[in-house]
Amino acid sequence: MEDWLSKALESFPELQDEIFQNRDYSNPSDLWIDLFAMVCMAYDEQPVNEDLIGRIYDYAAWCFKQPDTGDARTDLPLVTELCLIENIPLKRNVSADLYRWMSAESFNSFETTFRYDLDTEGAYRKFHDEFMEKKKGYSGFSRI
């Protein structure tokens, strides 16, 4: 089993049936598509499923620390950026809470990625300014 899949199983034991029976995660982007959907659903739960959200961001942090494979389909940092980070601005309830999970340094390092779907300078500036304003008042631990 691939390291990324083993780590996912360790991080998300509730996905054991998905990983071993129902889904063929042939590459990490397949998994990240499902994990982003899970983040979105976690925000829809009442109360919000902070445990799951935290584990997904922890898994993302682990992925960002993995070496470049030279293959866009298996490069964990790239896949995580494209399948998670790029989609965050598209979901208001996810992006509004990002300040609790991501450091300001990481946010700034993903500027180009965030700008991909925020197609105007004003949209990106608003997203940036809202994040930074909330971040200033937050002293908790950032996962990414």
| Average pLDDT per 10 consecutive residues for the chain, totaling 144 residues | 88 80 79 94 97 98 95 94 97 98 98 93 97 96 96
Q: Is residue 85 part of a domain?
A: yes
Cα 133 from chain centroid (whole Å): 21
Q: Is residue 142 part of a domain?
A: no
Q: Measuring CA to CA, how many Å separate 135 from each of 71, 92, 115?
A: 34, 16, 19
Q: Is residue 112 part of a domain?
A: yes
Q: Is residue 11 part of a domain?
A: yes
Q: What is the pLDDT of residue 28?
A: 93
Which residues constitute the domain of residue 59?
A: 3-136
Q: How many CB atoms lie within 10 A of CB 134?
A: 14
Q: Is residue 123 part of a domain?
A: yes
Domain total for the chain?
1
Name the phi and psi angles at 95, rounded to 5.
Answer: -70, -35
- What is the spatial distance between Cα 124 and Cα 4, in angstroms, rounded to a whole number? 31
Q: Is residue 144 part of a domain?
A: no
Q: Is residue 118 part of a domain?
A: yes
> 124 with 114: CB under 8 angstroms?
yes
Q: Is residue 104 part of a domain?
A: yes
Q: What is the pLDDT of residue 26?
A: 83
